[in-house]
């Protein structure tokens, strides 16, 4: 996709440099926006920066643009092929064990959460326990979502049942929401004898416990020894007459919550049956009404603005400053780093400076002092293996990923291995001098369109969250039976999306906050706030 876009722009705007950079920045901005909300984020990342690489390499030499684009595609395809063979044949890895353990743990936690809410409804439980279990369930559900993405890639069985797993993922999410609604309405039943008002409540509880037990059996590859039975909580009409209207309403709401939980647990049971091979396709459950449609994400748009401004500043420097170190590579590196930082604005520019500086220094030293002494294929092969192994071994921890990636990238960039190898100190020097220009551009655009300080970003998102909550609440009076104008529908969808997505964004920013700048605030309080917002 990147190659096609690059060749199209070169063909259309070979003599129009301002139209060329305009359409190139729009394309990269579009890739950056989609990258922020797509499960194929890496696809759009590569599509964006590969287009810039080909445009900057082939633009000055448009006669050979097609050959350069094809060469880039061949290089990428060869890398994918080699990595796939290594991952499949030499060192196959699977996340199935961790995935299965997480699924079992999540099912156990949801069972405990159900028991806790049931006891609370009967006036026997602790008010804090459901909240603690809810936070634990939220963390485990996030872990489940991450491992499901990984298991679909590296485990054939999970890939074959991916549709069933996706259905189960949606069901446990709906179940979690239903239990949270149920827990929120339990406070209105504290003065009532719920067991007397619902004569079959004990049977309902036993049926729910049986379903969770059978799900846990199937998750350990054991066939279920009992099938779920449909059950609906019923009122004692005689005792119901003595209650006030508010008490009757509270009971009606509770029964509605229990019916929803009953339907979702039965559907989740069917899904696990289908996945484990012990039953037929899962039964469908009607989804809760939601406002859909395309809604613009303001945070992703901020990333687009940042990467577009970055590219234009680098372009101005390239056009109006003569003999710029690195030449067109300045724009290429600015676009690559701009896409990364536009998609993850929590990363500061200074975070990249040390890995790039260290990587450039070591790669230049190897290029100047070691490469000229190599004359055979065996020597070159051992050299490549040794350097790659050393970087991956010495910087293997997740916190050192930037040094590892930049080290390997700068090593291959500066050495520029080819059949007819030549050496020039200026090649390494120009590459080293190029990065201060790139970092100056990134530092300037870091403040656009918002402040990059994590505590300011956190408070800004927090204000947006409560503003959307307020606006969404004011729309609740609208009659859903009547036709709502398109503007109001869009507004409701926008604020609904804000409320549902901002807690996750707040959690991402919370990890980078220096709590010393927020007087009287501890990291635990910030984390607790984000969990409770979720």
| pLDDT, tens digit (0-9, with 9 covering 90-100), for 138-148 | 889 989 998 99
Lowest mean pLDDT among 180-184, 271-275, 283-287, 339-343: 283-287
CA-CA-CA-CA dihedral for 481, 482, 486, 489, to nearest 10? -40
User: Considering only 16-25, 282-291, 455-464, which range has the smallest mean pLDDT?
Assistant: 282-291
Query: Among the listed ranges 95-99, 107-111, 251-255, 448-452, which one has the minimum average pLDDT value?
Result: 448-452
Q: Does residue 179 surpass a pLDDT of 70?
A: yes
Q: At 397, is the secondary structure helix, strand, or coil?
A: coil
Stretch among 22-31, 62-71, 479-488, 515-524 having the lowest mean pLDDT: 479-488
User: Does the bond joining 449 to the residue before it have cis omega, within 30 degrees of 0?
Assistant: yes
Q: pLDDT over 70 for what percent of the chain? A: 96
Nearest-angstrom CA–CA distance, 3 and 11:
12
pLDDT given for residue 485 in this prediction: 81
Residue 280 is predicted with a pLDDT of 62
- Nearest by Cα to 165 from 184, 179, 151: 151
Q: What is the mean pLDDT of residues 194-205?
A: 90
Q: How confident is the model at residue 291 (pLDDT cuts 50, 70, 90)?
A: very low
What is the band of 481 on the pLDDT scale with cuts at 50, 70, 90?
low
Indicate if the pLDDT at residue 93 is higher than 50.
Answer: yes
Q: Residue 171 above 50 pLDDT? A: yes
User: For residue 63, what pLDDT is reported?
Assistant: 79
Which alpha helices (DSSP H) does 321-447 contain, by range?
A: 329-343, 350-369, 377-394, 401-415, 425-445
Question: Any long-range contacts for 178-181 (C-beta under 8 Å, 24+ apart)?
Answer: 178/257, 178/260, 178/261, 178/264, 179/110, 179/113, 179/114, 179/117, 179/261, 180/134, 181/257
Q: What does the pLDDT read at residue 235?
A: 85
Q: What is the mean pLDDT of residues 110-118?
A: 93
C-alpha closest to that of 71 among 85, 88, 50: 50
Cα(354)–Cα(341) distance, rounded to whole angstroms? 16
- For the entire predicted model, the pTM comes to 0.81
Q: Are 295 and 490 contacting, i.e. CB atoms less than 8 angstroms apart?
A: yes
Judge contact between 266 and 211, C-beta under 8 A: yes
For residue 520, what pLDDT is reported?
83
User: Average per-residue pLDDT in the chain?
Assistant: 89
Q: In the prediction, which pLDDT does 237 show?
A: 85
pLDDT value of residue 482 = 67
- Mean pLDDT of the region 355-376: 92
Q: Cβ–Cβ contacts within 10 Å for residue 9, how many?
A: 21
Q: How far is 286 from 87, CA to CA, in rounded Å?
A: 41
CA distance 171 to 199: 28
Pairwise pLDDT comparison (76 vs 338), residue with the higher score: 338
């Amino acid at each position: 996709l990147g190659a096609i876009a690059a060749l199209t722009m070169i063909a259309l705007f070979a003599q129009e440099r301002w139209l060329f950079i305009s359409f190139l920045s729009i394309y990269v901005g579009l890739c950056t926006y989609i990258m922020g909300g797509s499960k194929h984020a890496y696809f759009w990342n590569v599509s964006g920066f590969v287009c810039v690489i080909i445009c900057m390499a082939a633009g000055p030499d448009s006669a050979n643009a097609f050959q350069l684009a094809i060469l880039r595609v061949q290089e990428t395809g060869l890398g994918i092929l080699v990595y796939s063979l290594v991952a499949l044949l030499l060192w196959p890895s699977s996340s199935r064990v961790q995935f299965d353990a997480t699924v079992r743990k999540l099912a156990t936690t949801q069972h405990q959460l159900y028991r806790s809410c049931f006891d609370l409804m009967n006036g026997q439980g602790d008010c804090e326990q459901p909240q603690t279990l809810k936070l634990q369930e939220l963390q485990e559900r996030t872990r489940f979502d991450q491992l499901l993405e990984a298991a679909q890639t590296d485990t054939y069985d999970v890939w074959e049942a991916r549709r069933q797993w996706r259905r189960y993922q949606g069901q446990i999410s709906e179940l979690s929401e239903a239990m949270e609604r149920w827990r929120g309405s339990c406070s209105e039943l504290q003065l009532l004898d719920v067991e007397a008002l619902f004569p079959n409540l004990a049977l309902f509880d036993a049926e729910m416990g049986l379903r969770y037990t059978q799900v846990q059996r199937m998750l350990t590859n054991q066939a279920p020894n009992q099938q779920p039975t449909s059950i609906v909580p019923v009122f004692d009409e005689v005792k119901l007459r003595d209650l006030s209207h508010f008490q009757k309403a509270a009971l009606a709401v509770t029964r509605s919550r229990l019916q929803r939980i009953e339907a979702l647990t039965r559907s989740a049971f069917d899904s696990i049956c289908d996945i484990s091979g012990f039953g037929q396709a899962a039964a469908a459950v009607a989804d809760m009404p939601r406002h859909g449609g395309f809604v613009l994400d303001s945070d992703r748009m901020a990333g687009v603005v940042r990467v577009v401004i970055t590219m234009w500043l680098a372009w101005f420097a390239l056009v109006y400053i003569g003999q710029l170190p690195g030449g067109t590579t300045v724009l290429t590196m600015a676009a690559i780093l701009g896409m990364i930082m536009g998609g993850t604005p929590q990363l500061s520019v200074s975070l990249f400076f040390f890995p790039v500086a260290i990587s450039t220094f070591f790669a230049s030293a190897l290029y100047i002092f070691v490469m000229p002494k190599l004359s055979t294929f065996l020597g070159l092969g051992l050299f490549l293996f040794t350097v790659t192994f050393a970087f991956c071994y010495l910087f293997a921890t997740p916190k050192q990923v930037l040094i590892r990636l930049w080290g390997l990238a700068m090593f291959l960039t500066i050495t520029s291995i080819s059949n007819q190898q030549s050496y020039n100190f200026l090649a390494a020097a120009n590459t080293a001098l190029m990065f201060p220009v790139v970092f100056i551009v990134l530092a300037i655009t870091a403040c656009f369109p918002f402040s990059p300080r994590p505590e300011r970003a956190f408070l800004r998102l927090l204000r947006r969250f409560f503003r959307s909550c307020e606006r969404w609440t004011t729309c609740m009076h609208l009659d859903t039976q009547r036709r709502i104008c398109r503007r109001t529908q869009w507004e409701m969808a926008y604020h609904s999306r804000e409320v549902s997505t901002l807690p996750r964004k707040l959690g991402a920013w919370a990890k980078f906050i220096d709590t010393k700048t927020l007087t009287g605030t501890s990291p635990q309080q910030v984390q607790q706030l984000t969990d409770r917002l979720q």
